[in-house]
Amino acid sequence: MSAVTARVVRFNSFINPVFDERLHSEAGIELQVHPMPVSQALANAALQGVHAYHVSAAKDEQPPFAFVTPALIAACPDLLCASSAGAGYDPIDVAACTRAGIAVVNQTGGNAVSVAEHTLGLILSVAHRIAESDRLLRRDRGFSREDLTGREIAGKTIGLVGIGNIGRRVAALAHAFGMQVLAVDPLLSSDEIRLRGAEPAEFDEILERSDFVSLHCPRDDTTRGMMDAAAFARMKPGAVFINTARGGIHDETGLLQAIRSGRVAGAGLDVWDREPPPLDHPLLACDTVVATYHTAGVTHEARRNMASISADQIVRLLHGERPPRLVNPEVWPAYARRFEAILKRPVQHP
């Protein structure tokens, strides 16, 4: 029996043109781009017969019925691949995909340079009070330069919670600024953490010793709410908190209380429980909080890189190859059986 044309669907949110260009150039693959659906029925209709679904990684930039849920999976019996457009995969129920034999891929590492640079930008902005000075200079007079006295980061200690693709680059940049680097990562050995440029430490030690605590871990059941009021209370007095990972890993109310009490000197926040946060969010009223709108990985270079990686992984999957960024590797045997049955072509075994 002849091979089936593989159908890829994405909804029309921003993506660098290299994604569409690559998929349109591939024989045996058909890309369809649909308007963002306004109902579950429209989402299911657009995804009918889909083999690979490329979904935005930003949960607040699409309706929940565009998420990869058990209901969507049930409506798409030929779905083979759920591809996240970013490193995170909040809109994808990975466990449900694994049960259904669906491969989940993300684009981890594609925006690592941009996010690492943004992390250092937040650290410098809080420590040197750059954003605070900018806001004050635009609206007031009668203050002195000494009212905005900052602190050098050289000689300070940064604690990284996670030292993967992004964390290891933050470590390198921190060393360039003369900082000491600690890191905790449950997925890595102490020797590997040292190879990535940090001294291994337990989570509590990170909190107690670090002048800057920076999150570079995924949001999952093990990290959700990890930085709660108790964790902020264990931080070194006067330390700074940075999160360019995901909202929900830190408790926003707990952070607010820690800043108001003076335990935490300030924060650099790129991610929020709700994105963008409401204008009356109390953390936005704190002078020592530097806030950005989940833009750490939003650079021209990163967006092109992520789109290119995304397209390449989908093409490889639909040609029967095992992709390099498989979130649920345990799915592969079931995926291979479904792939061969649905697309009528063989999986390439290593």
Helix (DSSP H) and strand (DSSP E) numbers for the chain? 13, 12
Q: Out of 51, 196, 246, 303, which one is annotated catalytic?
A: 246
Decide if pLDDT at 78 tops 60: yes
Angstrom distance (rounded) from CA 34 to CA 15: 13
Query: What six digits make up the tokens of 244?
Result: 């360019």
The per-residue pLDDT for 1 is: 47
Q: At what angle do helices 130-139 and 112-127 cross, to 10 degrees?
A: 60
Rounded percentage of the chain residues whose pLDDT exceeds 70: 99
The per-residue pLDDT for 350 is: 60
Could you read off the pLDDT of 88-121 as tens digits, one per residue? 898 999 999 999 999 999 999 999 999 999 999 9
**How many Cβ atoms are within 10 Å of 348's Cβ, its own excluded?**
11
Report domain extents, the chain.
Answer: 6-109+300-343, 112-291
∠ CA(299), CA(305), CA(309), 5° rounding? 145
Angstrom distance (rounded) from CA 185 to CA 195: 13
Pure H helices in the chain: 18-24, 40-46, 70-75, 94-100, 112-127, 130-139, 165-176, 190-195, 203-209, 229-234, 252-261, 300-318, 332-343
Same fold, 6-109+300-343 and 112-291: yes
Q: 329: cis peptide before it, omega within 30°? A: no
Decide if pLDDT at 136 tops 50: yes
Q: Out of 61, 208, 275, 321, which one is annotated catalytic?
A: 275
Could you read off the pLDDT of 156-177 as tens digits, one per residue? 999 999 999 999 999 999 999 9
Q: Out of 7, 129, 250, 294, which one is annotated catalytic?
A: 294
**Does residue 152 have an active-site annotation?**
no
Mean pLDDT of the chain: 96
Decide if pLDDT at 51 tops 80: yes
Average pLDDT over every residue of 319-326: 95
Angstrom distance (rounded) from CA 64 to CA 212: 35
Angstrom distance (rounded) from CA 41 to CA 31: 20
Angstrom distance (rounded) from CA 5 to CA 2: 9
**Does residue 294 have an active-site annotation?**
yes
For 129: left if phi > 0, alpha if psi spans -120 to 50, otherwise beta; the answer is: left
Decide if pLDDT at 2 tops 70: no
Could you read off the pLDDT of 256-313 as tens digits, one per residue? 999 999 999 999 999 999 999 999 999 999 999 999 999 999 999 999 999 999 999 9
Nearest to 107 by CA among 307, 275, 272: 307
pTM of the full structure: 0.92
Query: What six digits make up the tokens of 323?
Result: 């992709």
**Does residue 151 have an active-site annotation?**
no
SS (H, E, C) 57-84: CCHHHCCHHHCECHHHHHHCCCCCEEEE
Query: What six digits make up the tokens of 99?
Result: 């049960």
- In this structure, of 9-13, 87-91, 198-202, the range with the lowest mean pLDDT score is 87-91
Q: Which CATH class is domain 6-109+300-343?
A: alpha beta
The per-residue pLDDT for 59 is: 81
Which contiguous run of DSSP H or E holds residue 53? strand 52-55
Q: What is the DSSP letter of 264?
A: E
Decide if pLDDT at 331 tops 70: yes
End-to-end CA distance of the chain: 24
As a CATH number, domain 112-291 is: 3.40.50.720
